[in-house]
Amino acid sequence: MDIATRVYNHKWKIDPIIRSLIDTDFYKLLMCQSVFRNKPQTEVTFSLINRSTSVPLAHLIDEGELREQLDHIRSLSLSRGESTWLRGNTFYGKRQMFRPDFMEWFESLRLPAYHLERVGDQYELTFEGKWHEVMLWEISALAVLMELRSRAVLNDMGRFELQVLYARAMTRVWEKIEQLRDIDGLSIADFGTRRRHGFLWQDWCVQAMREGLGSKFTGTSNCLIAMRREVEAIGTNAHELPMVYSALAADDAALARAPYDVLSDWHEEHDGNLRIILPDTYGTQGFLDHAPDWLAGWTGIRIDSGDPAAWAEVAIKWWQERGEDPLQKRVIFSDGLDVDKIAELHGKFAGRTKVSFGWGTLLTNDFRGLVPDDGLAPFSLVCKAISANGKPTVKLSDNPEKAMGPADEIARYKRVFGIGEQEHIDVIV
């Protein structure tokens, strides 16, 4: 028995879920730096959205416990070791990815206030403030809610039931890894921070991936785990950039340009494997059709909604039309992946282009069927920028089930971006 560890743990008033500001996705930090540089005066509101209304979060999770966890996150600041790592580590083969002015600001950062209210069986949780500050709430807030929900379900279980639950979950992850091991030339990373079962579980999954997949495992999106386990931190950019840029657009013409303006700013800041197009915010087809030629020179594309094989075909065709060699390009799949889908997509596209996978929730939170009433099944919780400088944001994506924003604005965006009929696809996670 390690008495010191037990006594140390007793000192916590709570058992904190987030213990570090870098227990977040790497791309958040890249985007944060970009926003800090290009849009430092933008006021943005992030909001929690539980797309799985059948999961009554406010019924499962005690409001006091939720506040304690969120308050604890507000007490965090970057530690010296974390700062040293961010300043000195090589990311994507490059030193000093984070510039001194950004690091100075980050070292003094405490996260801004949150607004929490119970509305029926759900929580209304919003974050208002400077974009580059509130944006850092997203991953932490999601991870807190996911883990508090896990803890609520686990709370009723005995010690051996818990041991066996994790034994089963470990067995499941390992069997997935054994299947992936057989795929020649696989390239896969952990993207599962936001909707993970819990921090320790994600940490275990990352170690299992490294042990089981060797060089096929390319890294994790989680900075803290990347630092501690000495694996690569992985990620580029997300929908919030074009969503906020678009909300800020003064008119329809500016709106039509906004998604390219985002990437133009990114182009100045990053090269190589960080130049990954995320084309689906307002429909992939229109985005590619109207894209400037310099974008075809980018390294790759990330497919995050719609039918992944169909959109990968569209991307390959687009590169060919623009005179690019798809074999020199990379397609990153990151939407609702599990092992069979990964194997299928790899089989279809390996040899025609470079293929990678960002594996999320069904890596770090596949507890489906392991407790009664499936109380630990993952569900579709997101935290999105809903307005910028007072104007609502809109997301369309290639799956209308993932669209968000006020109806009139959605209609306007559809008109501006020329969106016709879209295929509905069920959202699992």
How is residue 397 written in tokens?
């994506």
Select 113 or 164, whichever has its Cβ closest to a second copy: 164
Give the nearest distance from C-beta 330 to a second copy in angstroms. Answer: 28
DSSP string, 376-395: T----EEEEEEEETTEEP-B
Of 158, 323, 372, 390, the residue at the interface with a second copy (CB under 8 A) is 158
Contact region with a second copy (CB under 8 A), list: 23-31, 203-211, 349-357, 371-379: 203-211
Give the nearest distance from C-beta 175 to a second copy in angstroms. Answer: 8
How is residue 63 written in tokens?
């409001």
3-state helix, strand, coil in the chain (%, to 5): 50, 15, 35
Does residue 371 belong to the site contacting a second copy (CB under 8 A)? no
Of 14, 167, 200, 411, the residue at the interface with a second copy (CB under 8 A) is 167
Of 212, 375, 392, 400, the residue at the interface with a second copy (CB under 8 A) is 212
Give the nearest distance from C-beta 371 to a second copy in angstroms. Answer: 13
Site string for a second copy, 172-191 (x = CB under 8 A): --x-----------------
Does residue 320 belong to the site contacting a second copy (CB under 8 A)? no
What span, in angstroms and rounded, lies between the C-alpha atoms of 31 and 238?
Answer: 8
Does residue 207 belong to the site contacting a second copy (CB under 8 A)? yes
Total number of residues binding a second copy (CB under 8 A)? 19
Select 170 or 254, whichever has its Cβ closest to a second copy: 170
Does residue 163 belong to the site contacting a second copy (CB under 8 A)? yes
Give the nearest distance from C-beta 232 to a second copy in angstroms. Answer: 19
- Residue 423 contacts residue 402 (beta carbons within 8 Å): no
Angle of CA points 212, 214, 216, to nearest 5°: 105
Residue owning tokens 């995320």:
278
Contact region with a second copy (CB under 8 A), list: 204-212, 284-292, 327-335, 338-346: 204-212
How many CB atoms sit inside 10 A of residue 208's CB? 17
Select 206 or 315, whichever has its Cβ closest to a second copy: 206
Question: 140-159 burial, b for 16+ CB within 10 Å, e for fewer?
Answer: bbbbbbbbbbbebbbeeeee
Contact region with a second copy (CB under 8 A), list: 43-51, 208-216, 227-235, 284-292: 208-216
Select 182 or 421, whichever has its Cβ closest to a second copy: 182
- Residue 174 contacts residue 343 (beta carbons within 8 Å): no
Beta-bridged to residue 388, according to DSSP, are 44, 391
What span, in angstroms and rounded, lies between the C-alpha atoms of 385 and 390?
Answer: 11
Does residue 228 belong to the site contacting a second copy (CB under 8 A)? no
Does residue 229 belong to the site contacting a second copy (CB under 8 A)? no
Give the nearest distance from C-beta 172 to a second copy in angstroms. Answer: 9
Residue owning tokens 């849009």:
39
- Residue 145 contacts residue 57 (beta carbons within 8 Å): yes
- Residue 362 contacts residue 337 (beta carbons within 8 Å): yes
DSSP string, 28-50: HHHHHHHHHHH-TT-EEEEEEEE
Q: Quick one: how far is CA 66 from the chain centroid?
A: 21
Q: Are strands 43-50 and 115-119 parallel, antiparallel or unpaired?
A: unpaired
Does residue 171 belong to the site contacting a second copy (CB under 8 A)? yes
Does residue 211 belong to the site contacting a second copy (CB under 8 A)? yes
- Residue 267 contacts residue 275 (beta carbons within 8 Å): yes
What span, in angstroms and rounded, lies between the C-alpha atoms of 36 and 149?
Answer: 33
Of 13, 95, 160, 215, the residue at the interface with a second copy (CB under 8 A) is 160
Give the nearest distance from C-beta 315 to a second copy in angstroms. Answer: 35
Interacting positions 3-42 with a second copy (CB under 8 A): 5
Q: Interface residues with a second copy (CB under 8 A)?
A: 1-2, 5, 158-161, 163-164, 166-168, 170-171, 174, 207-208, 211-212
